[in-house]
Amino acid sequence: MSLKTIFAEELLWKITDGKHEFQQGVTALLSGGMGSGKTTLLLHLLDYLYADGREVVFWRGREIDQWHHADHRVEFRIFHHVDDRIQFEADSEIKQYYELYPYKTIREIIRNADSEMVNVVYPPSADWRAEYSDQNLVTIYKEYKQARILAANELNTTRHAFWYSFIYEMLKLKSFASLFFDEFDDIAERYAKGYKYYMLNFLMNALRYFRQRKLSLYGATQVVTDIDSRILGKMMFYLYMAGSKVHRDSILDPKKVKFAELGHAFIEEKNTGTWAKFSFPDRGIITTLLVTLRGIQSTEDDDFEMVEVEGVM
């Protein structure tokens, strides 16, 4: 076995089995151009971590999704808000692999997640507004003293606010858990404005605690530089595929990374500067699953707390 192979196996072990041996979580960022294999590699990691049930695995649900390409033995618990109806394209081909689980609060998702299934989480279809925010977000705003933003009514934004609240709730877990987040720049984008700029301070601090609380994040983006520098500073590992740019402190040759062959990737441990090249098996054509979320009129009272903006200030 070559030295390069040994290095690759050791680094891949650190982001999978190694974290259980060392009793700590990891943060890893996958990057590469379209068609480079980001989703394929993310699914390989998902299959591996799900297989033995040692941790709770969450997958970020999107309207254009690929979770159905996970190992055929995987079963899925699909979390969607009680005020939404969810439909999958080609549902007859996948319905035997999943069960639907409506939720009202993020706490319900965390409490009912199953370590023997992949837990796919879809945020509510309606945008989250400041006056209908859940208590986690209110707490975050209080902690970061963003009264000006609330007063300026800048929180009438998108569903991405849901994920800051979800990560806040994850921090309360006392066992191993992983979050797989494709298109990670949706919540960690560089040059973010408005409320999102300040929420990145929260995300940066949250990732700081992931390691000691046995939590892991596996994010994916097309370009490393699309991610805010505060968040990049908390990444322990980088996995680069074809078309990717290396982060500014990397010792890797940018040209070798950019023109890497399909099915190959580089893994780099940020703190040690250790890196290796490895290959991963092809999964065939990764087709997309179209997911439709439609809001329905709720017949029950919503558990989300009604928040008076003046009260938070």
Q: Which two tokens stand for residue 207?
A: 């990732």
Most confident of 16-25, 66-75, 195-204: 16-25
Q: Which domains does the chain carry?
A: 3-312 (3.40.50.300)
Instruction: Assign 19 a pLDDT band (cuts: 50, 70, 90).
Output: very high
Q: Give CB contacts under 8 A, 24+ apart, made by 95-99.
A: 97/68, 97/72, 99/75
Q: Which two tokens stand for residue 121?
A: 């989480």
Question: Is residue 112 within a helix (H) or strand (E), and if so which, with residue range?
Answer: helix 106-112
Question: What's the N-to-C CA distance of the chain in angstroms?
Answer: 62
CA–CA separation, 239 and 249 (whole Å): 14
CA–CA separation, 306 and 312 (whole Å): 11
For residue 269, the cross-strand partners are 237
Smallest Cα–Cα separation from 223: which of 250, 207, 245, 192? 245
Smallest Cα–Cα separation from 206: which of 171, 237, 176? 171
Task: Give the CB-side neighbour count of residue 116, counting CA atoms within 13 A.
Answer: 0
CB 51 within 8 A of CB 74: no
209: which DSSP letter?
A: H
- Would you call 210 helix, strand, or coil by DSSP? helix
pLDDT, average across residues 9-26: 92
Instruction: Give the mean pLDDT of the chain.
Output: 83
Q: Tell me the pairing of strands 289-295 and 84-88.
A: antiparallel
Alpha-carbon distances of 69 from 59, 119, 209, 262, 300, rounded to whole Å? 13, 14, 31, 18, 35
pLDDT, average across residues 241-262: 92
Instruction: Assign 267 a pLDDT band (cuts: 50, 70, 90).
Output: very high
Give the pLDDT confidence score for residue 127 in this predicted structure.
60
Q: Which two tokens stand for residue 96?
A: 């035997």
Q: What is the pLDDT of residues 183-224, one digit of tens each?
A: 999 999 998 877 778 789 899 999 999 999 999 999 999 999
